[in-house]
Every structure is written in C-alpha cells, then in structure tokens.
Structure 1
C-alpha cells in the first residue's frame, strides 16, 4: 500500500492537470462564444448538451463513476455558458427590458385601491406610501384590486405580500403571475394586533374571535392560551372589527388594529397580542404600467424550471456566479401540474448592471418561463 503522502502527491498532480485542461476548455468556449456572437446563435443548446452528456457518461467504468461524470460535466458546461453570457454583455449585446425608466413616479391625481374596509392594514400601508390625502377606495378582495388595475379603474393597488411571522400571502404571489401588473414600490409597516370587543365586554365574555387567517396565525400563542374561543376567519382584520360592531354581541371579538377600535367604536380588551412583538408586513405597490424609477435597486422575478434533479441549483447559480445578492426566494405550486413549483425571487441590482444582465440572460435561456414582476 502506498504511503498517504505519496497518494496525496499523485492527486495534486492530477488536480493540476485538471485545472490546465479546464482552462484550455474555457478558452475554446470563448471562441465558441465569438462564433455565436457573429452568427446570432443562442448560447444554450440543450439537445447538443444532452447528447454530449450521454456520450461522456457511456465512457464511465461503473454506475457511481457515471453519475460523477454527469455531474462534473453538467457543471463544466454550465460554467461555459456563463462565460459566454458574460462575453455577449461585454460585446454590448444586451436585452433592454421594456420598462419605462423615470426620475420619479408621478402620483399626482393617482387613484389607489386597497382591499378591505376602513381601518384595514392595507389602508394604513397606503397612507404611509401615498399620504393621508390620496384619492383611494376599497374593494372586497385582492383579486378585485388587480382587476381594477387591469381595467384602468385604479392607477395603483396596495397588496400585502409577506409577514415577518406568518410568511407569504400566497394568493397575492399567484395574482402577480395571473395579471400583467407590475410592482413599482413597497411599504413595510409594523403590525400590532389588539383584541377588540363591544363596549362593556370583558375577556371572560368572549366566545368567538374573528380575524384574517394570517392575523390568527400571528396571534397563535395568545389564542392557544384561550382554547375555549371559537376562531373564525374573515377576509380582513378591519372587516372582522366591523362585524363585531354590527353584531353588537359581547361574546364576539375581533383581532385587528387599535385604529379599527376608534373607527368602529370598539373597546381594546387586550393589546399587542401577536407572537412576535416586532411583527411587520411588507406591502407591494402595483401598477398596470411597466414603469420604474431610475434609482430602483431591487428586481422581482418568477420562473418555472424543468422538473428534474438539480434544476433549481443551476438557476440559482446564475446569481452566485455573477455576484448578485438574492434577498428573498419563495415557491408556489403550479396549478394543474402536481409537485411542480414556480419560484419567486427578489434580488439587488439594476437592469443596466452587467451582472444583472448576465444573470437574467442565463435565466431566460434556461428556464421554461420567466416573468419580471417589477423593479423598485
């Protein structure tokens, strides 16, 4: 048996040879890129790569080695593509996104829609973003808000997208795919939930609690300590407060903002009852126009990928290889396709950044479908 140091020395020699061969291969890849630039040929040739991988895998001496060769050469080919994407950008071959870039988005005389009733957290977020005197109205559902943007009844909509405790608002992620509406801004507000009852009610009187499902989740620890209460989900926290006011029943309470207590003449029976005392919700501002500020520094996209092992890794590698910082990633099931998912990603950067250009170019060529949801 050879000495361990001798074995390691032999591995070092082989590794050095692999490095030299890899660099030679990448040099040839650059020449391939020059050819594709001259002829307008696409970088990603899936049938060619699949055929090449099959041929190489047949050269393996065993099943374990075959899997290793497939994985190795998938990575080498992926690196080759990324180098070619970079060269396209260096040659000034860039795809301009068809977003109108402006110094500032004009909100003058803008009509804004939010879901819920007076006192809804969406209304609070709207006022934080647009100001107290904006021209606004409310609708019953988030889908109604997106429909009104689509039909030009409103210029902007305010939708909750993510809570720091309860996670994503899945329905609104799905609506971003369903509608050709785009994110132009965001507003984060602190969420403090209170338990509201009719005047004269006490905690011992409560039998039923109403609120939005996310608010019930955000207050799960408090509700667990009051298991005897019946929990009922409604479309909105403010809607819940209005119902308690309309029913005028001391056995009913709502989880909503303290502002809803003022609006609907209710009493705060308990306050700050959410699990996370730093509970916050991120709202997105949506428009029917593909518009963005020139100083926008975040981009949101969604994409579908081949339903095969390693697909997501290969897509995310476009961010890693180009040094693009992802700030959020979520997934949603694709309707009608069991166990397949659509991915939503937020990342830092501008369309004019070379790194962003390279990452988006790679994703557009290699995903099944990609949609840019907005930059803000």
Structure 2
C-alpha cells in the first residue's frame, strides 16, 4: 500500500511561474495525493527552485527532472553536480515524484471563435517544435517563441481591443487558469510524451514497499567501470529504471545519474549503496521517494 508523505509544519511550495506551468500542475497533483494544502509560490526560473529550498525561503520545491522525449533536465542536474549541493550537507532531498503526460492544446481568447481568426501562435520553442506538423496543417506558420507555455497563455489572455489574433500552445491546466478557449485539445504531433518532476523537501521519507531511489556517482575513466557499477545494482536485484550519462566539461569525464527500485533505508539497498560508494570516485544519494501513481 502506498504511504502518504507526512507533512506537519511545512507551508509553502515553490514552482516555476507564472501560473499554469507544468510545474504548477505537478505541485497541485502532489498536494492532492498527500491531502495537504500548501501555499504555491512562483519563481522566474527552474534554477532558482533548489537554492530557495536550501536557504529555507520555501519548504518544498517542484523541479522537472526528465522528459521522455528530450531526456534529463540539465539545468536541474547542474545543481546536484556541485560538491556543496550534496543532500547530506544542504539538508534537502528528493521526497516525491509526479509524472505529467504532455498534452499540448491550441488556445485562444474567449472572444475568438475559430482558427481562421488566428494569425500568430506563441509558445515555448519545444512546444512549437512538438506541434510543427499540426500547426502546418492548420496554416499557422507565424510562430513566436516565449519563455514558457504558461507565459504564452497569459499573453493571449491579456489581449485587448477588437482584434484578438494570438493563439498559445499550452496545457489544459493553463487554459483553465487563464480562462482561454481550447480550439485543438491534442495539437502535439506524437503521443506518449511525458515530463517527470521531483518534489524536493527537508523531511525524510520512510519505505513504502514501492519506492525509487535516485543517485549520482562519478567513475574513473577505466575499462569496465560502468559495467561493474551496473553489476552491483543487478546483483542486489534492484531494477534500474533510469540511467543518464552527464558530461562534466572535460573529455572522458562523466557523472552518471541512476534511479532504481527500492528505498535507501532497506537493508539490501543500503548495503548496495555502501558497495557503490566504495567502488566509485564519489556517490551522492539524492533521495528515496514513493513512485508516482
């Protein structure tokens, strides 16, 4: 049985703004799962989230960690790669995850009635790219990049005057926040895309029997070094659900981000982590957390 994360005194959770971002939606889902109302606060970039939880400006943070099409979110990983960001030093860790399917919608001002009235589409460059074929099908070839899909939705909502010719690509969650009309609910060219978010906090989670542990480790540039590490995880019968190599800026220097089934407090996992620490150049345990529903 999945066990809820117990939150007693924490009051705030910070996400990428403005309202209606995928991070905002992920935070809303996390609160619903844990039956706890938190004050949602917004920041200007994902890079601000982890430091703001470290310095206790906020109690929790929600950061994207992996997109099923684009891979690891390097901006977030760069924080954890810093030596002074080791969870054992800064007092934060990954305590939860939320997986959001990526459903891009074409949305317009409530006064706009049809696609024919639209001459410009705005959105994040990744969203524009993921909807390229359908935008071409609709004849919407004037496309303007924005910093976020939610920011694009907010811009469409702010239109005034008689001519409301802008459309945005964003989520249904954003459309609801800005009271926009959705003309195309499934604008994306491919289905199955999703983004996974980590929830960051200063509390420890206890094993639920259905957990994931996230780690970073550094290896020497030697034949078989990664194979030995994978064998350690395999020998412990811990299913590895995620692995990414992360270039460190110098030739042949990489860190590895790995997630596997199990909790760091489980005896088998704890013994495995000790072996990984002894075999690698450096090991950082980012946290153990219940798997997303």
- TM-score with structure 2 setting the length: 0.81
2:195 corresponds to 1:294: no
> In structure 2, which of residues 168, 180, 184 is the aligned counterpart of residue 266 of structure 1?
180
Q: Secondary structure at the residue paired with 1:360?
A: helix
The match for 1:282 is 196
Structure 1 residues 216, 373: CA separation in 2 closer, same or farther (over 3 Å shift)?
farther
Task: Give the stretch that moved more between structures: 300-309 or 176-185.
Answer: 176-185
The match for 2:68 is 164
Higher RCO (C-alpha 8 Å, min separation 6): 2
Structure 1 residues 349, 138: CA separation in 2 closer, same or farther (over 3 Å shift)?
same
Offset at 1:226? 5.8
Task: Give the stretch that moved more between structures: 113-122 or 178-187.
Answer: 178-187
Unaligned runs of 5+ in 2: none
> In structure 1, which of residues 192, 196, 205 is the aligned counterpart of residue 107 of structure 2?
196
Structure 1 residues 364, 217: CA separation in 2 closer, same or farther (over 3 Å shift)?
farther
**1:1-376 counterparts in 2 under 5 A?**
104-131=5-32, 133-178=37-82, 179=85, 180=87, 181-198=92-109, 199-200=111-112, 202-223=114-135, 225=137, 229-248=141-160, 250-287=164-201, 289=202, 291-295=204-208, 297-334=211-248, 336-376=249-289
Asked whether the 8 Å contact 1:211–1:233 carries over to 2, the reply is yes
| CA deviation vs aligned residue, 1:331-364 (integer Å, no higher than 9, x gap) | 2221x32353221100112334443234322221
CA–CA separation in structure 2 for the residues paired with 1:236 and 1:105:
32
Offset at 1:186? 0.8
Structure 1 residues 217, 317: CA separation in 2 closer, same or farther (over 3 Å shift)?
farther
Q: Which structure features the higher share of helix residues?
A: 1
Structure 1 residues 270, 333: CA separation in 2 closer, same or farther (over 3 Å shift)?
same
CA–CA separation in structure 2 for the residues paired with 1:161 and 1:321:
27
Q: Which structure features the higher share of strand residues?
A: 2
CA–CA separation in structure 2 for the residues paired with 1:207 and 1:357:
58
Unaligned runs of 5+ in 1: 1-101
Offset at 1:171? 1.7
- Provide the alpha-carbon RMSD of the alignment: 2.7
Structure (1 or 2) with the larger CA radius of gyration: 1
Q: Secondary structure at the residue paired with 2:158?
A: helix
- TM-score with structure 1 setting the length: 0.65
Asked whether the 8 Å contact 2:124–2:145 carries over to 1, the reply is yes
Offset at 1:268? 1.7
Structure 1 residues 274, 317: CA separation in 2 closer, same or farther (over 3 Å shift)?
same
CA–CA separation in structure 2 for the residues paired with 1:222 and 1:269:
13
